[in-house]
Amino acid sequence: MAKRRPPTEPIGETLRRQRVEVLGKGLREMAAILSIAPAHLTDIEKGRRTPSQELLLRISNHYKLPEAQLRAGWNRADTVLDEVGTENTMLASKAPALIRAARELPAEDWDRLIDQAQRLAKKATGEKRS
């Protein structure tokens, strides 16, 4: 299994820097925007808590940070990975095999792989309707 590459800085530090230096917001102000207690936001920024799925999405939106960056920082996969990986026996075996095989590909190869999968899915859907 390949080792995870650690981010250049903990995600909590990234959040705090973004909040203060880029957005110019105080802790209490941002907590109010996110509809959480200031202590909860402090715990997230200090790495003592991980946000829920819903809060992660709100943070991405209000901090203007890519969802993927936050997911990687908190080691939280998108819920679609859980859905696909447990939908049926075939997907439970094939989806992880595909991701393992492709994990070291550069972004442009991932884009080609996604395009090919979309074409295959469209073809399969079209064949089922015929």
pLDDT in tens, 43-76: 999 999 999 999 999 999 999 999 999 999 998 8
Predicted pLDDT at 128: 66
Residue in this structure with the two tokens 């991980």, named with its chain if needed: 50
Q: Superfamily for 11-73?
A: lambda repressor-like DNA-binding domains (1.10.260.40)
CA distance 6 to 12: 13
pLDDT tier, 119 (very low <50, low <70, confident <90, very high otherwise):
very high
Instruction: Give the residue extent of every domain in the chain.
Output: 11-73, 79-129
pTM (predicted TM-score) = 0.69
Predicted pLDDT at 76: 85
If we measure between CA atoms, which residue out of 77, 57, 75 comes closest to residue 67?
57
CB under 8 Å to 61, separation ≥6 — which residues? Answer: none
Is the distance from CB of 40 to CB of 49 less than 8 angstroms?
Answer: yes
